[in-house]
Amino acid sequence: DTPMDLVNRQFVAEQPNQLWVADITYVATWSGFVYVAFVVDVFSRYIVGWRVSTTMHTGLILDALEQAIWHRGKTEGLIHHSDRGSQYLSIRYS
């Protein structure tokens, strides 16, 4: 299953900025792997924040979340869900 399959089956939001889901994946390139962190607004299915890096670290996912917050602004009452991978369980992210 892709992250969007999960969003489509298990998560529902009635308005924007009610529920965001986040994940990180990797992509093979000619020069090696790159890691992509992204945040999706479940209501619109729109990627509201994302970042790419050659290393998988907590700063990568924090940057994606900060971009989403900057892009969308109001986040009061927002629920943010991730897959609970090690980057998302870090002290810096929590």
* pLDDT number for residue 40: 93
Q: How far is CA 4 from the centre of its chain?
A: 11
88 and 22 Cβ atoms separated by less than 8 Å:
yes
Residue 88 has a pLDDT of 56
pTM: 0.78
Position 76 confidence tier, pLDDT thresholds 50, 70, 90? confident
> In DSSP terms, which residues pair with 53 in a beta bridge?
35
- Structure tokens belonging to residue 49: 């924040």
**pLDDT single digits (tens) 18-28:** 999 998 899 99
With a pLDDT cut of 70, the percent of the chain lying above it is 77
Q: Which two structure tokens, joined as six digits, stand for 67?
A: 């971009």
Q: 6: pLDDT confidence band, cut at 50, 70 and 90? A: low
| Residues paired with residue 82 on neighbouring β-strands, in sequence order | 22
- Specify the CATH architecture of the domain 3-82: 2-Layer Sandwich (3.30)
Rounded Cα gap, residues 93 and 61, in angstroms: 8
Domain boundaries, the chain: 3-82
